[in-house]
Structure formats: structure tokens, C-alpha cells
Amino acid sequence: MKFIHLADVHLGAVPDRGTAWSGSREEEIWTTFRRIIAGIRENPVDLLFISGDLFHRRPLRKELREVNSLFAAIPETNVYIIAGNHDHLDAGSAYRSFKWAENVVFFDSEEVMCIDDDRMPVTVYGFSLCENEIREPLLRDVCPEEGDGYHILLAHGGDEKHVPIDFTALASAGFDYVALGHIHKPQVIVKDRIIYPGSPEPLDRNETGPHGYVEGFTDDDGIIHTRFVPAAARTYEDITLELDEETTQNDLEDTLSDMIAESGLQNIYRVVLTGQRSPDLMLLPEKLKNCGNIVDIRDESRLMYDLEMLEKKYAGTLVGDYIRYFSLKDTTEVEEKALDYGLQALLETSMR
Amino acid sequence: MLIKKITIHNFGKIHNRTFDLSEGINVLYGENESGKTTVHTFIKGMLYGIPRQRGRAAANDIYRTYEPWENPGEYGGTIWFEAGGMSYRLTRNFSRERRFGELLCEDTGALVDPDEGALDEILGNVSEAVYDNTVSVGQMKSVTGQNLVRELQNYMAGYEGSADSTIDIERASQMLKMTRKGYQVQENRRKKALEAEQIRIRSGIGYLEEEEKKLQKREKAIRHRMKEMSPAGEGENAFDVKMQKMQQNAQTYLLLSVIAAVLPVIAAIVLKQPAFKVCSAAAAVLILVFGVFKRNSALREIDRIGEYKAKWEERYAKMSWDLEHTKQALAEKRSAIENMQEELDEGEDALYQESSEQREIKALSLALETITALSGNINARIGMHLRTRTSRILSGITGGKYSVVLMDENLKMAVNTEERVVPLERLSRGTLEQIYFALRMAAGELFCGDTPFPVILDDVFGSYDEDRLQALLRWLHNEDRQVMISTCSGREAELLRGDGIPFNEILL
């Protein structure tokens, strides 16, 4: 038996609104999904599990028709779908009245239903979310029925606001595989048994690292094994640039451009500036954004001032008072920045 | 504090020289470039150390400037001084490789590291910045009248607002505000883009809602028409009932006509007269024909109703389909509207999320506020005192000619003569120098507190005329402080001698 486990595709999402690449990202989410289905047509699997949030919002009929036609093109694969919190099944949901292709099973109830696969010795359990927020631990007493074959559960949620899950209890409930959805970064709860595959494409800047789906298969002894298959067109990466007293704006731009060239021009980056910079450096973080797809720059660098020495040197004058004012307490990031800004302004305009 | 003796091993251009200093006035005489400023820098270096700057700044820092060319390892010297009734000897080597510092209390024999706080305490915690502002007085940098006035204004404002004449709060604030403006522009751009997106979504919702309204109207119209099509709510059954009734009528007509025909038939049989027979038979035939005719027209009516029913059913089915379709389209529109509503809410959240620009703006505002507040504290503490003392000193060194220094709300300075208030712009360079001197002296008294420091006057009397200089030297003599006047002219010594004021002359 071979299966593919997808979740949190979020078709229709528009990541990084306001950036130059936002529109392509919206398209890439669809393209990657189509590519995965096309891959199944080439190398058919027996089962395709989609553990919720296939759509970013409640789907429209035309969107369902679109994905349904894709599923119809892989008739050898039985597709099992549940709705997640984003595409939840409300009263007017297009999911409710949609007629799916023969090989598609949509779980249209909040109660856990179970369905015997018509080709494989597999019983699939699943339920859909009917509201965005569900604080009930709906999975608490769910366990497989008696019977041979594999018992596979599809579920969406796992945090406080979305069907909290007691993973220890779930691990001992007796399912052969639990295909989870909701967490966008791939996460293995129990190896080969309970897995969040994550979104095939990352959806925002916090979802760094590889993205894709999970492929499962049984070995000769009938034991299920899984592996993660990267599928994302691009990833979000963090870059930290450490400044020192010699660093110039040019250096920063060159280093950043090189690092981006090395780890992929197509990728999207969050940049953090750390270290100590010279007061002479006219730092223009906004200009760094021209070095690639940079979604965010966080400047945590400090001015290269020896505060203790300066406080002593300027004791009894405004500069001394200023340093002392900020050093008397635990400073927040804004206060640290204020200290640097004010000190720099006072010292640089000083006629000493 | 009293500096008694200085020995310079190697410092700048001075090698192995010892100078004895006395209480009261010391005149350090030397040609230009002979090292007068070097002596002052040495004294300050001894008291506060000479830290190396980091990075590019190191290229021309004090350390580099005074590092001796020969014997750079012997970069330093010794200074003997009295403070708080105790005598001290302070020895230092500034060189990077052989850095050394030693402070000996000659009365107690205690030997300590000067840089571990002991020296700070002896100096009454007068910091380097305060020393720069009070102890050592250099010449005003500006040459022309206008700049001189501005420089003096800045000095005063610096003292009042920051206890540091070199600080220019106005310019510092300007710099912070400009940086803040830059971030504000970026932030506005970001907000505008987000808001434009919101407007786009809102108009999208508006459009969808219009569509929804149209569909609702359409739904209502269809329902209305469907209701009209089935009068009195009988629906499709009405046709069947009608047809059934017609069927019955047809049968009834036939039956009645047959029954009605029976009488004339009997009459035809019973009546003897052939004319009557014929008439009765004809009547029977007429009745039957009428009955059949009625039946047939009823049957035709049934067919007609049947046809009408079929047409009606077809139309009704079409309308039902239309209604279903409209209802679906409505639900779809609703979903789309709700989805866009969600998008709108998310956008709203993004608008209120703190951006990195907002963080910088916050920090810059905090810096500005803090500077203003702290400067206000300093001003409240020393502002008035500084003005009264400056006035008193100015009056002292001008023989009462100029007395009160005023400052208006724009921090513009003016002096008061006996007759009128004169703005700085109207004063001669000499008078401006006198005000400057008075200001520095007043600051010294104020900031150094209980520890009177020596006053070091480095080439400050260049633009003083004879009378001014004499008045000033007399005033200094009465002040009872240790004074070091460095000069390249013999005027000071001459005037002091002429007045019979004792002083210690040092030749460089």
C-alpha cells in the first residue's frame, strides 16, 4: 500500500501581501498542488489523504470543480478529504452540496465517520471542522473499530483553539497512522505514526525551512514507513548579518547578495542585523531589500559605544544622565534603540 | 585641588621636563608650538587616562597624537597634587604595551590602582566631561562676530540644558527628528499600501453585495411568479382535478342524454301517429347528438387542459431549476463575501501590527522625550544659578560696567549696562570674550561643587586689551584658586608684576 498525506495546502492564500512576489506566491500554491497531483498520475498511489485546509478560505463552487477535476484525473487513487478551520464546513459551505468524483470521499460531518476503502484493506476515519474555533478535544475518545486492515485517522487541529489533542492518548488509541493537519511546519509527533506534513508551500515569513508532503508505504511485513518529500517552489530563510566596527553599507549589501545567491535567489529572506556597528556607519536597512526577496529586516545591532566608559566620562552632564537613565533599568528593545539614537545624536552634534 | 609638580617623561614633543607649580597664579610662557597645550593635555591625561579609540577613529585620537616618536614605551610621567588635605603622587605610563598606573598617598603610604575608583573619589567624582567644561578653558574657536555670538549662545545653551557647553541639544534634536521623519515617510508608505488594499477589498465586497442583492431580487421574483402560476395555491393538482371533473362531466353528459333519449324513444314506440313517431325519434336523436356533442367538447377540453398542464409543468420545472440555481449562486456569493470580510479583518490586523518602522519611530520619540526631560532637570538645577554667577563674575571683571546676563525664551543672551539692555550682536569681541570667560568660571564653580579645581587658561587672552586683561588678572588673584595661564606674550607677567600680584613663572 502506498499513500500520500497532504495538509494545509491553503489554495487561494496570498502570502506577503504588498511585496513584489506576492502574486506569484498565490499562483505557486496552486501550481505546487497541481504538480503533486500530476506526480500521482505518473506514479499512482493507492490513497491520498488531505487533512484539512485544502483551501485558505471556505471554497467556492468553481474552486471545488477545479480540484475535483484534478482528482478525477487520478482514478486509481482514492482521495480522502476533511475540512479544516480555514475551509470549515459552515451552513452555506459549498462542500455540503458538492458532487465529488467517484474516487473522492469527503467527510462532511463533525462526528468521526469511518469508511472502508473499496480497494485496499484500509479503514479511514475522519471528521471535518464546522467552525473556525473549536476548543473541544474532539479526538479524546476516538479509537479504531475492531477489524483487520489498516486503521487510518484524518484530523485537523491540535492547538488550544482548534481541537486540542492529547498526543500521548492519541498514540495509544490504536491507529496505524494518523494523518494530521493544521501545523504549517512539518512535524513528526510519533515516527511513521502521527505526523503533521506541513504546508506544501510555506505561507508566511515565520514558516522557514523545507516544505512538502509525506509519502507512506508498507514494507514486506506490512509495517508503515513514511518519508518527507520536499515540494515547495521556494522557502523562507533567516539570514543573520553580524556587524562590526569596520562594516560599511556596501559590505552589508555585498555579503547579503552573496549569501542570497548561495542559498537560492528564489527564496524569501528574513534578515536580522546583530553585532556592534560604528557610529560612522550610515545604516540604511531599507536599501538592503534590493539584494533579493527580503520580507523583513530587523536591526538588532547596537552602536559600538562603551557605555560604561561614556557614562563615567560624562557624569554630571546631560550625556551622563542620559546613559544613566537607561542603564538603571532592564531595557526593552525600543529603549536600547532610544539610548543609541539619543547618544549618537548628542555626541555627533557635539562640538568637542 | 592643588597641582604641585609635574614631571613629563615622554609626552608629545616634551621629554623629561619637570615643572613646579604654586598656589595662586602660574604663568606658563612659551613660543607658539612650544608645547603649552601638550602640558594641559598631559595633566588631563594623568587625571583621566588616555583610552585608545576603536576602529577608524583610532587613527587620529589623543593617544596617537601625543605618542612619542622616540621611546614610545616610556609614554607618560608623574604628577604631584593635594586634594582633601592629603598629598598624592600619580604615575602613569600610557603606552599600549607597558600600560601602568600607580597612585600613592604620600601621607598614609597607601598605594592603589588609580583606575579602580580611588582617583575618581579624590577628584570629587568630577567627570572628564565636567573637567573639559570647567577646568580647562580654551580660546573661543570662532573668529567673526556673528559666529562668535552664535558660539557663545551655544555655550550658554549647552550649559543650561546639558551642563556641557559642547552639547547642542537643538541640533541633536534636529538630527533625531530628521531620522524620525525618514521612518515616518516609510511607515506612511507602508500604511497607504495596506489601506489601498483594504479599499480594494471593500469595493470588492460592495460589488459582491450588489450582485447578492440582484440575486435576492431575482429569487423573490421567481418565487412570486411560481406562486402566481398556481392560483389559490392549488398547484399542479388543480389541472388533474379539473380534468377529472371534465371526465366526469363527459360521462354525465352521455349518460344524461341517453337517459333523456329514453322518453322520446318510448314515445316513438308507443305513439301511433307516424308524425309523432318521427318527431319523437328525431327528438331522441337530437338529444343523443347533443349529449355526444357535449361529451366530445368535454373531452376536447380535457385534451386542452392536458396540453396546458404539460406546458405549465415544463415552465414550472424551469422555474424551479432557476430558483435552485439562484439559491446556489446566492450561497456562493455569501461565501465569497464572508471570505473577503475575513481578508479585510486580516488586513486590519496587519495595519495595527507594529512594524519595524514604528519601532524605530517609537525609539526616536523616546530619545527626544528623554533628552528634553533630562535637559529640563539640568536646567532647573543649574539654569538660574549659572546666570546669577555669570552676571556676578562679568560684573567683577568689567568693573561693574556690564552686569546682568539675560536670556529670553529663545535662549538669546543679552547684557545689561547701567542704561540699557544690549544684545550680544552689538558687543565687541573683547566683551564677548569676557562674557565667555565669566560663563566658564561660573560653570566651574557650579559643576565642580565642593572640590575647587585649578583653572587652566590656555591662550585665552589674545583679544583682550590691556584694561580688560588687568581687570581680569586682579579678579583671578582675588578668587584664591590655583590658576594656570599659558601664553606666548609677556603681557600677563608684565601686568601682574605691575600690580604687585605674586605669581609663579614657568618657561617652556
Average pLDDT score over residue span B131-151: 80
Average pLDDT score over residue span B107-115: 90
User: What's the whole-number average pLDDT of chain B?
Assistant: 88
Angstrom distances, CA of residue B499 to CA of A234, A337, B430, B471, B496: 89, 58, 22, 10, 5
Cβ–Cβ gap A318/B167 under 8 Å? yes
Chain A residue numbers touching B342 (CB-CB < 8 A): 57
What pLDDT was estimated at residue B6?
96
What pLDDT was estimated at residue A121?
94
User: pTM of this prediction?
Assistant: 0.77
Chain B residue numbers touching A318 (CB-CB < 8 A): 161-164, 167, 169, 371, 374-375, 378
Q: How far apart are CA A333 and CA A314, in angstroms?
A: 24
What pLDDT was estimated at residue B405?
66
Chain B residue numbers touching A323 (CB-CB < 8 A): none
What pLDDT was estimated at residue B17?
94
Domains recognised in chain A with CATH numbers: 2-230 (3.60.21.10), 237-350 (no CATH)
Average pLDDT score over residue span B307-311: 86
Question: Picking from B85-94, B152-161, B194-203, which range would have the lowest pLDDT averaged per residue?
Answer: B152-161
pLDDT in tens, chain A (352 residues): 999 999 999 999 999 887 889 999 999 999 999 999 999 999 999 999 999 999 999 999 999 999 999 999 999 999 999 999 999 998 888 898 899 999 999 999 999 999 999 999 999 999 999 998 999 888 888 889 888 899 999 999 999 999 999 999 999 999 999 999 999 999 999 999 999 999 999 999 999 999 999 999 999 999 999 999 999 999 999 999 999 988 999 999 999 999 999 999 999 999 999 999 988 888 888 899 999 999 989 989 998 888 998 998 998 899 999 999 998 878 888 999 999 999 999 998 887 6
Q: How far apart are CA B135 and CA B484, in angstroms?
A: 10
- Per residue in B360-395, pLDDT (tens digit) is 999 999 999 999 999 999 888 888 888 888 889 999
- Per residue in B268-294, pLDDT (tens digit) is 888 888 888 888 888 888 888 988 898
Q: How far apart are CA B180 and CA B176, in angstroms?
A: 6
Please tell me the distance in Å from A260's CA to the nearest CA on chain B.
22
Chain B residue numbers touching A342 (CB-CB < 8 A): 172, 176, 367-368, 370-371
Is B166's Cβ below 8 Å from some Cβ in A?
yes
pLDDT band at B425 (very low <50, low <70, confident <90, very high): confident
Q: How far apart are CA B94 and CA B98, in angstroms?
A: 7
Q: How many CB pairs under 8 A join A and B?
A: 162
Chain B residue numbers touching A59 (CB-CB < 8 A): 335
- Altogether, the residues listed in chain A come to a count of 352
Q: How far apart are CA A90 and CA B334, in angstroms?
A: 11
Question: Picking from A111-125, B64-78, B406-420, B479-493, which range would have the lowest pLDDT averaged per residue?
Answer: B406-420
What pLDDT was estimated at residue B236?
61
What pLDDT was estimated at residue A31?
97
Domains recognised in chain B with CATH numbers: 1-124+451-463+478-508 (3.40.50.300), 144-166+377-450 (3.40.50.300), 178-357 (1.10.287)
Query: In this model, does residue B231 exceed pLDDT 60?
Result: no
Is B133's Cβ below 8 Å from some Cβ in A?
yes
DSSP A134: B
What pLDDT was estimated at residue B56?
67
Complex ipTM more than 0.85, yes or no: no
Q: Which of residues 471-500 of B touch A (CB under 8 A)?
A: none
- Per residue in B168-195, pLDDT (tens digit) is 899 999 999 999 999 999 999 989 988 9
Query: In this model, does residue B413 exceed pLDDT 60?
Result: yes
What pLDDT was estimated at residue A352?
67
Q: How far apart are CA B390 and CA A309, in angstroms?
A: 31
Q: How far apart are CA B494 and CA B285, in angstroms?
A: 171
Cβ–Cβ gap A338/B360 under 8 Å? no
Average pLDDT score over residue span B484-499: 91
CA angle B214–B216–B220, rounded 5-degree value? 115
Burial class (CB in 10 A: 0-12, 13-18, 19+), B37: middle
